[in-house]
Chain A
Amino acid sequence: MHSSWWLSALLVVPLLGAAGALLVRRTGRAYVVALTSAGVELVLSIVVASMYNPHVPGMGTFDFATRHVLSAPFGLAYDVSLDGISLLMVVLTALVVFVALAGARERRREASFVTWMLLLTSATMGSFLAHDLLEFFIFFEFTLVPCYFIIAQWGGAERARAALKFFVYTFTGSAFLFAGLLYLGFEHQHQSGGALTFAYGALAGTTLTHSASVWLFVAFAVAFAVKAPLWPLHTWSPLTYAEAPTAGSIELSALLAKLGTYGMIRFAVGLFPGALASVRPVVLTLAVISILYGSLVACATPDLKRLIAYSSLAQMGFIMLGVMAGSKIALVGAVLLMFNHGVITIGFFLIIGFLEQRRGTFTIRDLRGLQGPAPVMAALFTVVMLASIGLPGLSGFISEYFILIGAFATHAWWAAVATLGVAGSAAYLLWAYQRVFHGSSDETNAQVPDATNRERWVLVPVVVLVVALGVFPRPIIDRITPSVTQLVAHVEPAGLLK
Chain B
Amino acid sequence: MATLATLIVLLPLVGFLYVLSSGAHQSERAIGVVATGVVAGSFVAAVAAFFVLIHHASREVTVHLFTWFDVGSLHVSVALLVDPLSVTMCLFVTGISALIHLYSTSYMHAEKDFRKFFLYLNLFVFSMLVLVLANNLVLTFVGWEGVGVCSYWLVSYYFDRDAAASAGKKAFLYNRVGDVGLLYAMFLLFSHLHTLNYLDVFRRVGSLSGSTATLVVLALLLGATGKSAQIPLFNWLPDAMEGPTPVSALIHAATMVTAGVYLLVRMSPVLTLSSSGRLTIAIIGGATAFVAATIATAQKDIKKVLAFSTVSQIGYMVLAVGVGAYGAAIFLMVAHAFFKALLFLGSGSIIHSLHGEQDLRKMGALQRFLPLTYPTFLIGWLAISGVPPFAGFWAKGDVLTNAYSHDKLLWLLGLATAILTAYYMTRLFVLTFRGNERFREVTEGHDPHESPWSMTLPLLVLAVLAVLGGLLDLPWAHGRSLATFLAPTFGYVAPTSALSTLTQWGLAVVDVAAAIIGLAAAMTIWRDRVSSDRYEKTFFEKVWYWDDAYDAMVGRPLTHAATYADRVVEPRVLDGAVAGVAGSVRRSALGLRKVQSGFARHYALAMVLGTAVVVVYLVARVG
Contacts of A397 in B (CB 8 A): 145
Nearest CB of A to B595, in Å: 21
Q: Is B111 interfacial (CB-CB < 8 Å)?
A: no
Q: Render A196-218 as a binary contact track against B, CB cut-off 8 A, 1 for contact.
A: 00000000000011011001100
List residues 401-430 of chain A with CB under 8 A from any CB of chain B: 401-402, 404-406, 408-409, 412, 415-416, 419-420, 422-423, 426-427, 430
Q: Is the CB of A212 within 8 A of B622?
A: yes
Q: Is A156 interfacial (CB-CB < 8 Å)?
A: no
The range of chain A's interface size is 35 or more
Nearest CB of B to A396, in Å: 11
Residue of B nearest to A484 (CB): B71
Q: Is A175 interfacial (CB-CB < 8 Å)?
A: yes
Q: Is the CB of B608 within 8 A of A391?
A: no
List residues 331-357 of chain A with CB under 8 A from any CB of chain B: 332
Q: With A300-B562, A301-B566, A430-B173 as known contacts, state yes or no: A182 contacts B612, CB within 8 Å.
A: yes
A171–B609 alpha-carbon span in the complex (Å) = 11
List residues 363-388 of chain A with CB under 8 A from any CB of chain B: 369, 371-372, 386
Residue of B nearest to A180 (CB): B615
Q: Is B502 interfacial (CB-CB < 8 Å)?
A: no
Q: Is the CB of A405 within 8 A of B165?
A: no
Nearest CB of A to B192, in Å: 9
A477–B613 alpha-carbon span in the complex (Å) = 42
Q: Is the CB of B623 within 8 A of A422?
A: no
List residues 65-105 of chain B with CB under 8 A from any CB of chain A: 67-74
Q: Is B565 interfacial (CB-CB < 8 Å)?
A: yes
Contacts of A422 in B (CB 8 A): 176, 179-180, 183
A171–B191 alpha-carbon span in the complex (Å) = 42
Contacts of A182 in B (CB 8 A): 612, 616
The range of chain B's interface size is 35 or more
> What total of A-B pairs shows CB separation below 8 Å?
185
Contacts of B492 in A (CB 8 A): none
A422–B226 alpha-carbon span in the complex (Å) = 14
Q: Is the CB of A427 within 8 A of B173?
A: yes
Q: With A175-B612, A438-B165 as known contacts, state yes or no: A209 contacts B623, CB within 8 Å.
A: yes
List residues 190-239 of chain A with CB under 8 A from any CB of chain B: 208-209, 211-212, 215-216, 219, 232-235, 238
Q: Is the CB of B71 within 8 A of A477?
A: yes
Most chain A CB inside 10 Å of its own CB: which residue of B72, B160, B179, B567:
B72
Nearest CB of B to A64, in Å: 24
Q: Is the CB of B180 within 8 A of A423?
A: yes
Name A235's contact: one of B159, B574, B615 (CB within 8 Å).
Answer: B574
Q: Is the CB of A328 within 8 A of B180?
A: no
Q: Is the CB of B160 within 8 A of A440?
A: yes
Q: Is the CB of B172 within 8 A of A430?
A: yes
Q: Is B530 interfacial (CB-CB < 8 Å)?
A: no
Contacts of B616 in A (CB 8 A): 179, 182-183
Contacts of B159 in A (CB 8 A): 371-372, 437-439
Q: Is the CB of B169 within 8 A of A430?
A: yes
Q: Is the CB of A423 within 8 A of B160?
A: no
Q: Is the CB of A423 within 8 A of B72?
A: no
Q: With A175-B611, A329-B74 as known contacts, state yes or no: A405 contacts B187, CB within 8 Å.
A: yes
Q: With A405-B190, A408-B191, A422-B180 as known contacts, state yes or no: A329 contacts B71, CB within 8 Å.
A: yes
A275–B272 alpha-carbon span in the complex (Å) = 44
Name A426's contact: one of B70, B172, B188, B612 (CB within 8 Å).
Answer: B172
Q: Is the CB of A238 within 8 A of B570?
A: yes
Q: Is A297 interfacial (CB-CB < 8 Å)?
A: yes
Q: Is the CB of A423 within 8 A of B608?
A: no
Contacts of B619 in A (CB 8 A): 179-180, 183, 212, 215-216, 219
Most chain B CB inside 10 Å of its own CB: which residue of A179, A219, A440, A498:
A179
Contacts of B141 in A (CB 8 A): 392
Q: Is the CB of B149 within 8 A of A386?
A: yes
A293–B562 alpha-carbon span in the complex (Å) = 9
List residues 272-303 of chain A with CB under 8 A from any CB of chain B: 293, 296-297, 299-302
A208–B191 alpha-carbon span in the complex (Å) = 34
Q: Is the CB of A392 within 8 A of B142?
A: yes
Name A178's contact: one of B67, B574, B612 (CB within 8 Å).
Answer: B612
Residue of B nearest to A393 (CB): B142
Contacts of A235 in B (CB 8 A): 570, 574-575, 578
Q: Is B525 interfacial (CB-CB < 8 Å)?
A: no
A473–B142 alpha-carbon span in the complex (Å) = 15
Q: Is A121 interfacial (CB-CB < 8 Å)?
A: no
Most chain A CB inside 10 Å of its own CB: which residue of B166, B177, B561, B570:
B570
Q: Is the CB of A296 within 8 A of B71?
A: no
A477–B71 alpha-carbon span in the complex (Å) = 8
Residue of A nearest to B577 (CB): A232
Q: With A175-B612, A297-B562 as known contacts, state yes or no: A212 contacts B180, CB within 8 Å.
A: no
Residue of A nearest to B181 (CB): A419
Q: Is B607 interfacial (CB-CB < 8 Å)?
A: yes
Q: Is B553 interfacial (CB-CB < 8 Å)?
A: no
Q: Is the CB of A481 within 8 A of B187?
A: no
Residue of A nearest to B177 (CB): A423
Q: Is the CB of B607 within 8 A of A439?
A: no
Q: Is A56 interfacial (CB-CB < 8 Å)?
A: no
Q: Render B181-201 as a binary contact track against A, CB cut-off 8 A, 1 for contact.
A: 001101110110000000000
Q: Is the CB of A426 within 8 A of B565?
A: no
Q: Is A447 interfacial (CB-CB < 8 Å)?
A: no
Contacts of A147 in B (CB 8 A): none
A277–B72 alpha-carbon span in the complex (Å) = 22
Q: With A178-B612, A398-B69, A402-B71 as known contacts, state yes or no: A300 contacts B566, CB within 8 Å.
A: yes
Q: Is B614 interfacial (CB-CB < 8 Å)?
A: yes
Contacts of B70 in A (CB 8 A): 474, 477
A404–B138 alpha-carbon span in the complex (Å) = 13
Name B608's contact: one of A174, A386, A441 (CB within 8 Å).
Answer: A174
Q: Is the CB of A412 within 8 A of B607?
A: no
Nearest CB of A to B2, in Å: 20
Nearest CB of A to B472, in Å: 33
Q: Is the CB of B166 within 8 A of A434?
A: yes
Q: Is B618 interfacial (CB-CB < 8 Å)?
A: yes
A-B contact pairs, 24 of them (CB 8 A): A167-B604, A174-B608, A179-B616, A183-B620, A211-B622, A232-B577, A235-B570, A297-B566, A300-B563, A327-B72, A369-B160, A392-B141, A392-B142, A404-B183, A405-B186, A409-B191, A416-B184, A416-B187, A419-B180, A426-B172, A431-B169, A434-B169, A438-B156, A481-B71
Measured CB to CB, the residues of A under 8 A from B are: 167-169, 171-172, 174-176, 178-180, 182-183, 187, 208-209, 211-212, 215-216, 219, 232-235, 238, 293, 296-297, 299-302, 327-329, 332, 369, 371-372, 386, 391-393, 397-398, 401-402, 404-406, 408-409, 412, 415-416, 419-420, 422-423, 426-427, 430-431, 434, 437-441, 473-474, 477, 481, 497-498
17 further contact pairs, Cβ within 8 A, besides A180-B615, A391-B146:
A168-B582, A175-B611, A176-B611, A178-B612, A182-B616, A404-B187, A405-B74, A408-B191, A415-B187, A426-B176, A430-B152, A430-B169, A434-B156, A438-B165, A441-B160, A474-B68, A498-B73
- Closest CB pairs A-B (n = 6): A179-B615, A212-B623, A438-B165, A300-B562, A179-B612, A175-B611
